[in-house]
Copies of this chain bind each other. A is one copy, B any other.
């Protein structure tokens, strides 16, 4: 019998963890409500007025919550002091590494991107990337008044899992990518900057942005899908991002699907093809090229997608993409009983609405007896999802009420500490 990794759960909890958790529950309630009185928050969080009062005092002192004046609720009674999150109370730096670009952004506590640096380039060797990103981080921090820099929650890094894989399907050169497979970028960036770095794969990071700042303010359970050069995803269950034992839960790119019916698709090398080969903008571009339509940049692809009447190449790819997504989503529904799917994309031109309509129709035809169809939603951030997701990691990790705070259980974002003090 093979050796088994021993349990990581099973740790008790204490009252410091409890206070910590309740503070975050109050922040969450305020993030969801937008503005609220202490009584509203106590009701929403299931806490006593007293403990909410103490928590709000602390959060105000930290600058995370501010008073926006009194408001009368209903017809009678005293007007209540209304509270809201202060966007200036914290900020984070996000680094999105992609196979074809690097983006570095500064984001406030309200989830707004305040500044950015970008590099459109095939990802360079790891040490070159560390230097580049370190300079960007320094320049983004230099714009922040020195007194405000203590509000930095940390740096978040989002990068595709296994950068050196799937290069054939993504039509990329293999040269420098292989160097990335054994390179710990978050660790190197932590060392270079002296700051705390949080890392997740790009699908989970974008899902966390959607959870913290997007649809997650209304729904607690969704599969998040991002259609980019590759297809990425993340899994939100009971209000938390499911990390998975190796950090790759929600990696729908690798889900098995039948081979593509498009003549432009590469022949599968194994009994099943993977979703990545069919449902990705790389597959779309490949099919456009096969039809003699050149569209290299995302802007060019969006332009082709927006053409009316729809080019035949686009319709053919959408059909093939939907046919590939149907068994993947049927698996999601039956395996994790998932009622909602949020889809976002790096382009638009009407693509998302059409995908959602077609998927809805195709799932109606394909869903087995007694299996409910999921509801589809458009994602909130489009091409910003990756960079915002990266920057959300430190904010989510520091300010979200994850049950692992209480239990010490699995599922935490990987964190590299390099105290700046």
Contacts and interface: CB of A to CB of B under 8 A. Distances in A.
Interface in A4-35: 4-15, 18, 21-22, 25-26, 28-29, 32
Interface stretch (A71-79, A105-113, A246-254, A305-313): A246-254
B47 A12 contact: yes
Given A15-B15, A272-B366, A328 B326 contact: no
A372 interface: yes
Interface in A319-341: 326-328, 330-340
A142 to B, nearest CB: 38
Contact of A21 (B13, B272, B334, B411): B13
Contacts of A338: 244-245
A144 to B, nearest CB: 31
B220 A371 contact: no
A327 B334 CA distance: 14
A211 B81 CA distance: 48
Given A270-B366, A366-B256, A407-B401, A11 B25 contact: yes
A219 B272 contact: no
Contacts of A372: 246
A253 B369 CA distance: 12
Contact of A239 (B270, B335, B336, B409): B409
B330 A272 contact: yes
A212 to B, nearest CB: 13
A2 B372 CA distance: 15
B366 A238 contact: no
Given A13-B21, A246-B372, A330-B256, A403 B401 contact: no
B166 A244 contact: no
A152 interface: no
A10 B239 contact: yes
B327 A256 contact: yes
Report copies per complex: 2
B4 A218 contact: yes
Contact of A334 (B28, B243, B254): B254
Interface in A270-327: 270-272, 274, 326-327
B337 A244 contact: yes
Contact of A331 (B253, B335, B340): B335
A336 B14 contact: no
Contacts of A367: 270
Nearest to A254: B334
A-B complex: 8 closest residue pairs judged by Cβ atoms? A244-B337, A9-B239, A254-B334, A403-B403, A11-B46, A12-B47, A165-B370, A249-B337
22 contacts: A4-B340, A9-B220, A12-B25, A12-B46, A12-B47, A13-B25, A165-B370, A166-B370, A238-B409, A239-B409, A249-B336, A250-B335, A250-B336, A251-B335, A254-B368, A254-B371, A255-B334, A256-B330, A270-B367, A271-B365, A331-B331, A331-B335
Given A244-B336, A244-B337, 12 more contacts: A1-B377, A10-B25, A12-B46, A13-B25, A15-B15, A15-B18, A21-B406, A46-B408, A238-B411, A246-B372, A270-B365, A270-B367
